[in-house]
Every structure is written in structure tokens, then in C-alpha cells.
Structure 1
Amino acid sequence: MTTKKSTLQLNRLVVYYGIKKIYDEDFHAGVNIIRGEHSVGKSTILDMIFYVLGGEPKKDDWKYPADVCSNVLAEISVNKKTITLKRQINSEGGIPHIEIYDGNYDKAIKDVGDWSDYGSRRNNDKLSFSEIMFELFDWGQYKSSDYHNLTMHQIMRLIYLSQSSDSNRIFRKESTRSDNENTRLAIAEFLLGLDDLETHSYRQSLLKNEREYEISGTELRTYFEVLGNTADLTVEKINEAIEQKKVELDDINAKRSLLLDKNGTFDDLGENNISNERNMALEKSHKLTMKINTKNIELDSIKIELQDCILFGKSLNYRMKALNESKDTYQSLGKISFDYCPCCFTPISDSSKEDEAGCALCKASELTASLTEKYIETLNELQYQTRQNETIIRKLSENIEYLEGFIAELNIELQSTQNKLFDLSLTSNHRELAIAEIIEERTAKLLEISSLNEKIESASKVDNLIKRREYILQKIEACRNKITALEAKNAERRTYVYKILGDISTNILEMDSGNEEKFKSATSLSTEIDFAKDRWLLNERVNYSDSSNVVKKAALHLAFLLFSITDEYCRYPRFSIMDFECGDINEERSQNLQKIITSCLDGKVDYQLIMTTSKVAPSLNNDELGVGRFYGKNDYILKI
């Protein structure tokens, strides 16, 4: 792990519209504040910085007039070495190359021949822009595969606090599948000096192997469906089965040769016996047909009975439902009195006693308790009938299943008898019948051998897949063991880093001027920074009010910068971009946050923070901290 600190500083930013400069400002070490009213283009300038440093914005991320500009150039210093970057603006979602000049901006624009062009992805002939930047930062090239590498775009996601990203997230938003837990964790661990991408490499390999194992399992199940019985899927077992079938075929061929040999002996009992066998087969076929018809009639009768029971069960369920509804209605409404008969509208005579309990319609004496008893009695009867009906349904279903199996067996026997009857009708003696049976048996055996031969290729693939899956499992286990070992190796530093970041950020929160009560005692609360899940839990909570989320996120990003300034193992390049201000944060709270940021950085050296504000604190509204002038209403930073 390197102990050399990484530094990045933006010295100058120039934006071109065609050949016209529409933005040209110098930046300085320390705090840089881009000041201006809402919607004058402050965030757009930060997006330009993100873009020229290797960021890859999507098509929808571009805003006017940046989307119609032609080029953006940046003079930067990486570990004190000054270079100039140039990138063509493509708002259609492409990823243009980045040109690098070894020298400052003034020399770069005069020298058109010494620029080097680098793509966003490596190829066999040339390094990528990210690889060149990693070399300049002295981060090295730890892995040889893009699958395991980080890019400057991913590095910038933790450096750039973007207003367009969710305020309760740590990283700049990403809308592609590359934004996964492994990638986010790798970015943080690499920049904070917890890993040199070795653990990330094993995590990515683990993910790749697990996906391959899952895909091979799906493919294996497909072959199982084709091959049938999994116990006979190996090539060795199929070859054994083929050899056994060939032995059986040789026996059949020997029988055939004996029958075809005219000089051979064969006990033929004559035409009468053939006729007798034909009659017996015909009679058996007739009996089987009659038996099948009888069983089918019995089966249909049981199915009708079963359907009746099912309908009766539905009726019982409906009656129980109605009974429950009736009970609920009575308990809700109580006793109902009628002045007129609901059927014929004849007046109903009054009861002899007004308080006498009874039916308001038929005047029958009926206590509430007896109604409850009748309800329970009726419910019990319905439940008993339901249980009995379910028992009958189960027995009928079992009978149907038995009869269907029995009829299927009878049909097989009938088909066999009819086949034999057909063979007997074509022969005049036993010798001819035996020859026909041998031919049929030989044909069936050849088909079995052919079917087994067709399965060999698939079985071979199954064997290879099984071996491959065993090998992948070994690789998965090796990756998991290596990850566990690497995490254990860095466990002490990880605990230290997370604690320091939590301490710094909660101390910052206690200086907030907002109404969030939890922030006032933040240092005493539990804190969990989870880069993989892209969240920071304070007091086991992720979300607070929108303005409090803004302060909370800014506090954590400021903690990254402060930690990088003092920690010798941290790769975070002591460079931060903050576009934290949103419409929900009031002027007093925003200005207080600005003061917190500048006071925390007071006296620190070799760092750069670029931030924007429309509510700049009066004490910070000066040329020493400011970049360019204060842009008033409708005074746009980028003017076409």
C-alpha cells in the first residue's frame, strides 16, 4: 500500500463555443466559490469539470447551453505535475476521447502537434485515459482487466457532490448496471486506502463465477429434461447400456438366422393351432373391450358424483358465509321491529308486553341466548357436513385415480392383444409368426441403440458441465477465502477509517444551525457509513428532512477531504467538488454551512475545494475565495 499522498488541483477551466471562448477562469489552491443567483449555470460549470476529468454523463444529464458547446479544456496539476486536458463535448450520450498535453494551458493552445489522445477504455495498443491518470497519481495499474479496474469516472463519483443526485446518497447518481455494491465499495476502499483493488478483483471474480455457476445450472437442467433419468446421464453408463443392447441384438440375430435356415428344425404345430390362437386372441380382445367400456361407465358415474359433491361443498361454504353475515348483522343492528308485514303490508298487532323478548314479526318468544345456541348448532352441522363431504370427495378422487390407471393398463393389454391378432392374421404357421416377432423385436432393439447413441453427445456435454461446475465451485470457494483473508488483514485500518470519518462528520453536524434535534447531539449517536448500500445511517436512520439531508451529505464529503489531508495512506486526491445547495435549505443555514466548511479547512494546505452557492455568506463573498464575479439574475455564466 502506497504512503505517498495524492493531490489534484484545477488551475484553469476554458469552455469553447466553436472558436469562441465563453468561459475562462483561473482556480486556486484552497476554497474556490462560484457565486451567483439561481439558474445562472453554476452547476453546469461543475459538470464541465466532472466531464473533462473523465466523467461520463448520460444524454439526459446535459443542460443548455453546455450541450451545444464544442470543447472544454482544463489545466490541472496531478501530484504537482501540470498537464492540460481537452475534451470534445458530445451531448448525444457518446464518450469522446480526452487529449492530454504535457504542460500548461498557454503552451498547449500554441502547440497543436504534441497532444496525445486517450480513449475511455483500454485496448491492446494503447492505455486508456484512466490508466494514464492512475500513473500520474502514482496509483499504479493493479489489475489487467477492465472487469476489475476502476475508471476516473467512478473515482469522480465520490469526489463530486452533485446537486442532481439524491441528498441521502453518498455517491453521484449512476443509471447503469455498473453501479453495483461491489463497484461502490471498491471506489471507497481504494480512495480511503483500505484496498489496492485486490479485494475488488476477487469480489468481481466471485460475482462472475457465481453468475457462471447459475447459468451452467440452467443449462444442465435443460439437458436433464432432454436425457430423462439423471442416473444414466454419464457417457460411461450410456456406453455400457449400448453394449448390453448389442449383446441382446446378437441373441435376436441368432434366433432370426435359425428361423430363416430352411434346414433348421422348428416345431410347427400347423394351421389349426394358428387358427385357435387367432380365435383366443379375438375373444380376449372382445373381453378386454367390454371390460374397458364397463370401467369407463363406472368412471364417468364417479366423476359425476364427484362434481355433485364439489357443488355441494360450494353450497355449504356459501351457507356458512351467509350464516356468519347474518350473525354479524344481528349483533350490529340488534332486534328489528316491523309495523307492517314485509310481504303483504298488513299492519302488525302490538305485542301484549312491550319489553317482552320475541320476534317482532311472528311474535314467537325467542331469547338472545337461544339464537346464539341455534347459530352454534347450525354452524356445527354445516361444518360436520363439510368435513363429511370433503372425506367423500377424497375417496372419490382416489377411486377416479385408481380407475384411470386400471383402464390405462387394460388399454395397453388390449393394444398388445390386437397387435398379436394382427400378426396372426398375416401368418399361416408358427414359423412365420416367430419370424415376424423376431423382426419386430430386432427393430425395437435397433431403435433403442440409436436412441442411446443420440444421447451420447448430450451426456458428454453434461459430464463436462458437471466437471465445469465443480471447478467453478472451487474457484468460488477460493475467492471467498481470499476475500475473507484480505478483509481480515485490513480490518484494523477499516475500523480506524470509519471511526475517524464518523467522528469528523458528526462534529460538523453539531455545528449546524438548523432545527434538526438529532444533529445537536450527533457525536453521541450511532453512525454507520455503508458505501456498498450507498448510505450513511445516523442513529440508525438514513433519511431526515431534505435540508438536513443536504447538510448531512455535505458533512460526510467534507470529512473525506479533511481525512485525506492528514492521512498518509489515503488516495483521495485532496480535491472535492460540492454542489450541495438546494431550494429547501434557507439562507441562514446555507451560510452557516459555508462558514463551517471554510473554518474546518482554515490552516490546511495542499488541497482544493470547488463549491457553488446562490446564498454566499458576506464574509466569503470576496475575490480571494471567489472564482469570477458574482453572477446576478439573468447574468448567465455561459453566454452563447
Structure 2
Amino acid sequence: MTLLEPTLRVNRLVVFQGGHVAFDCPFHTGVNVIRGRNSSGKTTVMDLLAFSLGAENIRWKPEALRCSATFVEVLLNGEVACLRRDIGETLLRPMSIFWGTLNEALKAGPQLWEMYPFKRSVHRISFSQALFDALNMPQAQGDGASNLTMHQLLRVLYADQPSVHSPIFRLDNFDTPLTRDTVGGYLAGVYDDVLYSAQLRLRELDAQISKQETELRSIFNVLGRSGQSPDLEFLNIKIVELEEARDRLSASLAKLREERALPRKDANKARASADELRKDLNVARHEESKSKDKLASLDLDIADSHLFVKELESRLRSLDESKETRTYFGNMQFRYCPSCLSELPEARTDAEHCHLCTTALGDGRADAQLLRMRNELNIQLKESTSLIQERTKDADKLRVDIPILSQHVRKLEQDYKAVANTWSSDVEVVLEETARKLGALDEEIRQAYERQKLASVISDLQKRRDELTAEGKRLEESIERLEQKQEQRKTEVADAVNTAMTRLLKLDLPLQPEFIGATTSTFDFVSNEVYVNGSKNFSESSAVVLRHVFHLSLLTASVQKPFMRVPRFLMLDGIDDGGMEKERSHRLQEIIVEECSTYEVDYQVIFATSEINPMLETSDLVVGRFFTPDARSLDVRET
């Protein structure tokens, strides 16, 4: 069968009560039927399975709370993984993931498991994000600033028993129309990756532009109060003029000192002053040199980090190409020997052996290793990008500080040159006056350089704001085009679901008039309602049929539309709810099995019933044993 992405499949569920196995059941591809009498624990098993996959708001039964943890082996797009969650009434419990089979997981030490929280943080991704990555599903923004979670998806994929009058979603006390709309559109594949990324980028741009404008307003407000000009060109001209005036004044001071020889006492004093200036000059030159060396080192590190990021991105692409290559060659069939060209005997068709050489293919651990390597590369990529940002920030600061250090060096060089020359005490008054003027010029130059630095910052902020604004306009135009495409896809999915629903409702027993003559059916994720021939109010048993037929129709549409993000997985409980008569329950089961038999892709449907259709009882669709009140699903022992 064809594997569409995303595809989720449960291989095995194990529930522990401490060290005791309270439940252990394997599952298979296709339809899985859990059966047993009323009050025998079928819903408890379904709830535990949903919880192990990330569901919340479970209405725990007492026997379930006596258990300690769930282990479930799953296939995520064909790659094996094991998920563990500790059972308890506390909400938002974390999940541990082992990238291998359940048998390997039970033998593995804690260091081989990866712990993920329910909610993401700055330093840790959530288990929903980890599972979405493994299923090659993009992250999507939900209500507020939160991302969609496995719990929100399972509210559609798991039609549980208490939600009879909630035809689309499992009941949730914190549900909002925006959340329902986002979840429905996400599963339907309405929001494509490009549009999602563009919308996220536009939100980032809006925040960055707002930040730039806030900084500019603050700077201009301060400049307006102080009467200063932020004109960078004007400041550059003024600095040149001040530097020329200082050079002329320094030359005049040097000329005055050359007119007469120094007395011994004054000469000693002058030499002492020159020595002090020379020390300061050496220190200033050292600081300037050190800053320039540090900037050069940072630029080299940044360039090296960019090369490392490119290498990581190349490795990620190589991993994807490796997976695609293995998938391609794994499906290749040979009729003739590639060495001697002789016709080969009939090939083995089982998935555990190579059809050419009949060698066992193993447990797929290489695929799990690819997932682990991809996760590690993504972590390194995030760390390297963060490091580049920090180093770039430090380098930008040095580029601002180095000109000030250089100006300070030049000032000390000029001062040292001035005091190192001879001067006459006869012109002391003139020298002091000249020195005061020189000091005033130095202070004015210093302030001009400070304003120049501020003007440079303003110019950079304005340039960056204009660049972000231009990018934002381009993104808005792109988003508008993508949203038009989104509306077309939304109509396509709705038509596929409604067509399947109308067809399947007609196969029900002729009890509900609207179902018998069904001509139109519609659904609305926002209002959580399903209509047939314009009506949404039906008898209890008909509401149960409609709820399960809708979910089955959604699965049917997902196998017809590869772009949909329903992971070709469905859990149905309460097949016999609403006082449904046995014949109608049997017919609903037949509808489910017959519809699923038409699928040509990998899928999995798990449903529970207390009135199993006799034709299914002896089939290979049933899983586990038959549950009774005396032999309940969970083998919970007294402690």
C-alpha cells in the first residue's frame, strides 16, 4: 500500500501497574475492533491509548488511575518509536520518547529516552513538536501565541464515548471557535507550509518594525529636547573642521615651545609630564589594538559559524535524500539477476526479507537512527544560529567603539608631541591660554564623535526599518495570493467530505428520513456542527451514526487528498451509544469496514463495540480478548 505523509499507526499498547503488566495488546494496519460487554473496560482502553498519544482531559476510571504508566509503540511515517506517559489526574503531563521498538525500549536505560514537556519553552520543544517533526507536519499557530498540540488534533481523531452530541470534536472546557477553526483547517491541509511561514514571518516583521520605530521615536524625543541635530553628514563636516582647528592650535603650541630652551627644573618637569603621557599613549594604543584584534577574530568566527550552519543544512538535506533513496530502492523489484542476467525465481513478497537475496531486513532501526540524527542536527543548527547572533551583536558594538578609541589615541599622540618639545617660561601665559583653547576643542570634538555615533545608530535604524517595511509589503502580496489558493483547497476538501458523508448515510438502516433521502450534507468546524439536508437535530441513535460517519468521511477524504494532514488514523468509541438497536450497530460496523476496504493507502481505524457484528467476530480484524465484567480489560491487582 502507498504511504502518505503524515501517517500514524499504533503497533502495540502496554499499560503498567508498577512492575506488573495490566494490559498488553498488539494492533495492525487497517481496521482494529475492540469488543466486550458493557462496563468491561473498552472505553478505558481507548482513553489510555489516546492519552499515550498526547490527549488531555481524560475522564479517568478508578482502575485506570491505579495503573502507573502507558507505553505505546507507533509508526510515524513508517518509522518506529515508543512513547511513554505516566498516568495521573494532573494535567499537561510530559512524554518520553524512545526512537526504537517497544521491546528495545523496555530494556533501554533512562539515558536513551528523550523527555519532552507538554508545553514548549525557550530551551525545550514540546512532545507535540517532536511528534510533528517525525510526522513531517509543520508547526501551526493556534489560539493566542500557542502552537497546535497532539491533544487538539486528537480531539478530532478520537470520537470518544461522552461526546455524543459533539459531532466533530471531543468536548473541551477551554474550547474556542478560533481553536476549532485552526485545528479543522490544519487537518484538512488548508493552511499550507508556505502560507504558514509567511504569516509567521509577517508577524515577526510587524514586531521588529514596531521596535525600530519605538527606538527612533525615543531618540528623536531626546534630541528635540536637547536641541541636537541627528544629521550624520553635518556632523562629519563639523568633525573635520574641529580636527583642522585643533591641528592648527597644536602646531602653534609646538612653535611656541621651540622658541626658547628649557631650564633644568622645567625640563625635568616637562620630561616627567612627557613620560606620563607616553604611558597613557601606550595603554590607549594597546586598547585600540586589542579591540581591532577582537573584531577581526569575531568576524572570522562569524564566517566560520556561517560555514558550519551551511554544512549542517547540507547534512539535513543529505539525510532526507538518503531516506528517499532507501525508499526508492527498497521498492525496486528485479526480474533478472543484475550479474548474469538469468531470470530470477518467484520473489518473496513478505516485508521482512529482501525479495532478491532473501536476507532478513531487520527491525528498521536504521530509520529510527535517521530520525535521531535529524533531531540532533536541528539542535546544533539552532545553537549555531544563536551563537552567530550573539557574536554579530558583539562585533557591531566594537565597530562603534573602535573609532572613539582611535580618536583618543590621536589626541594623546598630539598631547605627547606637544609636551615633548621645549617651551619657554617667558611665554607661560600664552601657553596656558593656548592649552585652554586646545582643551575646549578636544571636548567639543569628543562630543561631536558621540553625536556621530548616535547619528549612525539612527541611520542604521531607519535603513533597517525601511528594509523590513519593504519585505512586509512583499509578504502581504504573497499571503493574499496564497489565501486565494487556500479558499480553493478548502472548497475541495469540503466537497470530498460532504460527498462521502451523503453516500455513507444512505447505507444506514432506513430509520432516519433525512439519511434515507440525503442529498446534501455540510459541516462547520467553528460551530462544531454537522448538517444533513439542512437539519442538525436527530434522535440519539441517529446522532451517533452521524458522528461516526462524519469522522469516517474525513478519513476517506484524507486518503483521496494527499495534501490533507489527517494522519490516516482514527479512533471511534461509543458505536452502540444512544440506545442504538443491535441491527443498526451491526450495519454501522459493516459501513466502516466496507468503506475502509476501498482505501489503497496505509491507514488505521480502531473502534470499540459491545455489539460486535457476527461476521467480524471471526475475522482477523478483532484485537485482544473479549472483555467481560468478570474479566475486565485491565488486569489490576490489589496492592
Q: TM-score, normalised by structure 2?
A: 0.54
Paired residue for 2:34?
34
Could you say what the CA RMSD is over the residues aligned between the two structures, in angstroms? 3.4
Aligned mates of 1:615, 1:80 — CA distance in 2: 33
Q: Secondary structure at the match of 2:588?
A: helix
Paired residue for 2:592?
597
Aligned mates of 1:570, 1:588 — CA distance in 2: 34
Is residue 609 of structure 1 aligned with residue 589 of structure 2? Answer: no
2:148 alignment partner AA: L
Q: CA 1:161 to 1:201, structure 2 compared with 1: closer, same or farther past 3 Å?
A: farther
Paired residue for 2:552?
558
Aligned mates of 1:95, 1:66 — CA distance in 2: 17
Aligned mates of 2:22, 2:78 — CA distance in 1: 28
Q: CA 1:482 to 1:585, structure 2 compared with 1: closer, same or farther past 3 Å?
A: farther
Pick one of 581, 585, 589 that aligns with 1:586: 581
Paired residue for 1:620?
616
Q: CA offsets per residue over residues 482-506 of structure 1, 9 Å max, x none?
A: 9876542222221111011001011
**Deviation for aligned residue 1:580:** 3.2
Given that residues 514 and 548 in structure 1 are in contact (C-alpha distance below 8 angstroms), is that contact kept between their aligned partners in structure 2? no
Q: CA offsets per residue over residues 347-384 of structure 1, 9 Å max, x none?
A: xxxxxxxxxxxxxxxxxxxxxxxxxxxxxxxxxxxxxx
Q: CA offsets per residue over residues 28-50 of structure 1, 9 Å max, x none?
A: 00000000000111011111111
Pick one of 486, 489, 504 that aligns with 1:490: 486
Aligned mates of 1:96, 1:134 — CA distance in 2: 18
Q: CA 1:146 to 1:23, structure 2 compared with 1: closer, same or farther past 3 Å?
A: farther
**Deviation for aligned residue 1:5:** 2.2
Q: CA 1:80 to 1:624, structure 2 compared with 1: closer, same or farther past 3 Å?
A: same
Given that residues 143 and 179 in structure 2 are in contact (C-alpha distance below 8 angstroms), is that contact kept between their aligned partners in structure 1? no
Paired residue for 2:400?
none
Q: Kindly report structure 1 stretches of 4+ aligned residues shifted beyond 2 Å.
A: 140-146, 166-169, 196-207, 477-489, 632-635
Paired residue for 2:543?
549
1:545 alignment partner AA: S
Q: CA offsets per residue over residues 535-563 of structure 1, 9 Å max, x none?
A: 11112211211110111111110011111
Q: Secondary structure at the match of 2:112?
A: coil
Given that residues 182 and 204 in structure 1 are in contact (C-alpha distance below 8 angstroms), is that contact kept between their aligned partners in structure 2? no
Pick one of 103, 124, 127 that aligns with 1:126: 124
Q: Percent identity?
A: 33
Is residue 163 of structure 1 aligned with residue 161 of structure 2? Answer: yes
Pick one of 172, 175, 198 that aligns with 1:174: 172
Is residue 103 of structure 1 aligned with residue 100 of structure 2? Answer: yes
**Deviation for aligned residue 1:27:** 0.4
Pick one of 498, 502, 508 that aligns with 2:498: 502
Question: 1:522-541 maps to which residues of 2 (within 5 A)?
Answer: 522=518, 524-525=519-520, 527-541=521-535
Aligned residues: 371
Q: CA 1:479 to 1:168, structure 2 compared with 1: closer, same or farther past 3 Å?
A: farther
Is residue 54 of structure 1 aligned with residue 54 of structure 2? Answer: yes
Given that residues 574 and 606 in structure 1 are in contact (C-alpha distance below 8 angstroms), is that contact kept between their aligned partners in structure 2? yes
Given that residues 82 and 103 in structure 1 are in contact (C-alpha distance below 8 angstroms), is that contact kept between their aligned partners in structure 2? yes
Q: CA 1:185 to 1:206, structure 2 compared with 1: closer, same or farther past 3 Å?
A: farther
Given that residues 14 and 71 in structure 2 are in contact (C-alpha distance below 8 angstroms), is that contact kept between their aligned partners in structure 1? yes
**Deviation for aligned residue 1:148:** 4.6
Given that residues 6 and 571 in structure 1 are in contact (C-alpha distance below 8 angstroms), is that contact kept between their aligned partners in structure 2? yes
Q: Secondary structure at the match of 2:13?
A: strand
Given that residues 142 and 198 in structure 1 are in contact (C-alpha distance below 8 angstroms), is that contact kept between their aligned partners in structure 2? no
Aligned mates of 1:122, 1:482 — CA distance in 2: 29
Q: CA 1:174 to 1:618, structure 2 compared with 1: closer, same or farther past 3 Å?
A: same
Aligned mates of 2:571, 2:635 — CA distance in 1: 23
**Deviation for aligned residue 1:141:** 3.5
Question: 1:353-364 maps to which residues of 2 (within 5 A)?
Answer: none
Pick one of 496, 512, 517 that aligns with 1:516: 512
Q: Secondary structure at the match of 2:12?
A: strand
Aligned mates of 2:142, 2:170 — CA distance in 1: 26
**Deviation for aligned residue 1:186:** 1.1
**Deviation for aligned residue 1:98:** 0.4
